[in-house]
Amino acid sequence: MKNLMQSFAVLFGKDPVKAEQSAMTKRTIAEHQRKTEIRGRELSLHIKAERKKKFNSPQKWRRKRWISIIVVNLLFVLSYRLDLQLVEGALTASRFVGFHMADLNSALQITLAFKQIVINLVIGVVTVFIVWWLLGGRTFCSWICPYHLLSEWAELIHLKLSPKFSWIKHHDFDRKARAVLWLVFAVLAYVTGYTVYETISPTGILSRALVYGPSVILLWVVALLVFEVFYSRRFWCRYACPIGLTYGLVGATAPLKIKHDLRKCFNDGACRKVCLVPHVLHSTKKGAAVKLNTELGADCTRCGRCIDVCPTGALSFKFKVGK
C-alpha cells in the first residue's frame, strides 16, 4: 500500500524520494554496486561494441507501438469510409461490432457536464476500464493515442535540430500542472455543462479529423507540435494532458508492469534519456534503488523504450497476477 501511495504521489507531480532501506538491503545493494563497478571496469571491447550496436539499431518496441497506433486509428478510418460497421465513432466514444466503448476521461467529462449517468456510457467505461487496467493505465498513451505518435516524431525533429541551433532548447515545467488542469477541466465541465476539454484535446481532435475529415481546429494541434519542437519536447503529454493522469490512476495496480533488476543495472542512464516520463526510472540512478527488483510506477506508459536501449537487460516487461 505504501508503494502504491508513493506511485500516486509521483503521478500527481511529486518528485520521487528515496525510501528508507533496511540494514540487510543496504548491505545487499552495496555489495551489488561493488560488483557492478568491477564488472563495469572489466567490460571487454566486444561488449562495448554490442552496446553501441544496440543503441544504434532500430527500436523493436517503438516499431511495435507505431504499428499499433497506426493500425488502431486506421481501423476507425476504414470502417467509416468503407461503411464496414466494425469500429464506429472515434477514440473518445465508439462501438466495436455494436459493443459500446468509451474513453474514461471523456466519460468523466460527459457525466460531470450533463450530471447524469447514461447506461451505454457505463457499459463502455467498464469495458475500457478492464482492458486498460490489465495492460496498465498509461498504455493507452503510447500504444493507441494518435497525438502521442506525432509528439514522438516532433521529439525526433527537436533532437535533430537542437545541436545545430543553440536557440532550440528543451524547457521543463512543473509536473503538478497536469493534476491542476485535470481538476480545472473537471470543474469547468460541471459548472458550464459543456465538455470543455474535448474541444481542445489533441487526441480527440486528431481522431475525429482522421475519421470525419480535417477542420480548422487542427491548427491548435499544429501549434502544440511546433511548441514541442522548438521549446519543450513532449510538453502536452508530460505536463498538460489529463487523459494520461486518468489512465495512470486506473493502471496503478495493473498486473502488467516494467521491472527494474538492480543486479543487471550499470546505472548508465540511457533509459532515462529516452523515457517520456523519466521520473518513473528513479531506481535506475546510482544509489537510488531500495530493493533489487523495482516495478515502475503508475505514470509509466509501458512504451518499452527503456527496454530497447538497456544494454544489459536490467529492464523488462513483467505480468504478475496476485502477490
Q: Which pLDDT value is given to residue 27?
A: 62
Q: Under a CB-based contact definition with an 8 Å cutoff, are residues 149 and 66 in contact?
A: yes
> Residue 323 to residues 127, 164, 200: CA-CA distances in angstroms?
24, 50, 41
Per-residue pLDDT tens digits for 41-56: 445 444 555 555 554 4
Domain layout of the chain by residue ranges: 61-249, 255-323
Cα torsion through 297, 298, 304, 309, rounded to 10: -30
Per-residue pLDDT tens digits for 146-198: 999 999 999 999 999 999 999 999 999 999 999 999 999 999 999 999 999 99
Could you tell me the sign of the dihedral formed by the alpha carbons of 264, 266, 270, 271, in that order?
A: positive
| pTM score, whole prediction | 0.85
Q: And the C-alpha cell for 265? A: 543495472
Q: Digits of tens for pLDDT over the chain (323 positions)?
A: 667 777 777 777 777 766 555 544 556 666 666 655 555 544 544 455 555 555 445 588 999 999 999 999 999 999 999 988 888 899 988 888 777 888 899 999 999 999 888 888 888 889 889 888 888 878 999 999 999 999 999 999 999 999 999 999 999 999 999 999 999 999 999 999 999 999 999 999 999 999 999 999 999 999 999 999 999 999 999 999 999 899 988 888 889 999 999 988 888 889 999 998 999 999 999 888 888 899 998 899 999 999 999 988 899 999 876 55
Fold of 255-323: Alpha-Beta Plaits (3.30.70)
